[in-house]
Amino acid sequence: MRTFSLGGMFEQDDGENWLEIQRVLRDTWRVSVRSTSRWGSATRLMTAADSPARPITCTARWRRAAFTIDGRDASARIDHGGDCASAEKEAAPGLSATPLVDATVQRAIEQFLYYEARLLDDRRIDEWYELLADDLHYFMPTRYNRLKREADREFSGPHEAALFDEDKRSIAQRIRRLHTGMAWAEDPPSRTRHLITNVMIRPAPNAGEYEVDSYYLVYRSRLEREVEMFVGTRHDLLRQVENRGEMANRATHDNPRSGDGARAQP
């Protein structure tokens, strides 16, 4: 089967998409398509996060494609990058090879994360719950497979479907359910090991708070043959309260994994 883009060039993705559609529909559909396209660009002003007074100018390019499919308008704007992508990286908080906190704070926060992991692995879930701040937001977005031009839509937004979107009260309800003895998916319970690494810390705007990025690997086994591994990145907001630390916010980005029935882990 031959497929061609608007520019007259063969595109493999178009062929794969069409074959998949036909496989689902189990039929052949033919449509009359007319199309025109025009190119445009625009310059916009951005502000660097590390220096609000320093503006960044970039140029975005797009193509306006006007489609008519069987007499119906199906126009669309197709973005073609420009230099805004690199400018957005510059505007976002950058990575630094230089520690932004002293060694004592780094060590204390790492120990907090290791302690949290140990509580979860030892099934001391009530003690883990005490580490959570009253204003906690625990969020894990849904992750989708996207093309490069749709990279900004790889993760679901704050008001879209998420794997976790919890506060301290809803997590308490989950824990109470585990204690009822009626949570059959966890009886017998899972055996887990949480491995935490690549801990990077930045002081947060509020005194006593720290933004903490880390990688995690969770190994989970249950019964005789049920084995899963979870890998991803966590973005935490940790807060120092009196002589202890607590977690005020966590956003987890899980890497895609194979296998059916895979479940997210804290």
Domain range enclosing 47: 1-6+32-92
Distances (CA, A) of 224 to 105, 112, 189, 227: 41, 32, 12, 8
Same domain, 180 and 85: no
Please tell me the total count of domains within the chain. Answer: 2
Same domain, 62 and 172: no
Instruction: Give the pLDDT confidence score for residue 160 in this predicted structure.
Output: 86
**Final residue before a domain boundary, out of 92, 120, 140:** 92
Per the domain annotation, does 20 fall within a domain?
Answer: no
Per the domain annotation, does 24 fall within a domain?
Answer: no
**Final residue before a domain boundary, out of 65, 92, 119:** 92
Element (H, E) at 169: helix 168-179
Same domain, 156 and 222: yes
Same domain, 116 and 197: yes
- Residue 93, classed as helix, strand or coil, is coil
Instruction: Give the pLDDT confidence score for residue 157 in this predicted structure.
Output: 84
Instruction: Give the pLDDT confidence score for residue 5 in this predicted structure.
Output: 44
Backbone torsions φ then ψ of 32, nearest 5 degrees:
-95, 120
Instruction: Give the pLDDT confidence score for residue 36 in this predicted structure.
Output: 47
Average pLDDT across each block of 10 residues of the chain; the chain has 266 residues. List them in order.
45 55 51 45 42 42 46 48 44 65 94 96 96 94 90 86 91 94 90 96 93 96 93 94 88 65 48
Same domain, 115 and 240: yes
Same domain, 88 and 107: no
Same domain, 122 and 237: yes
Same domain, 139 and 85: no
Instruction: Give the pLDDT confidence score for residue 21 in this predicted structure.
Output: 59
Same domain, 47 and 112: no
The CA dihedral of 124, 130, 134, 135, to the nearest 10 degrees, is -60
Per the domain annotation, does 128 fall within a domain?
Answer: yes
Per the domain annotation, does 222 fall within a domain?
Answer: yes
Same domain, 160 and 38: no
Instruction: Give the pLDDT confidence score for residue 70 in this predicted structure.
Output: 47
Per the domain annotation, does 27 fall within a domain?
Answer: no
Backbone torsions φ then ψ of 259, nearest 5 degrees:
105, 150
Per the domain annotation, does 213 fall within a domain?
Answer: yes
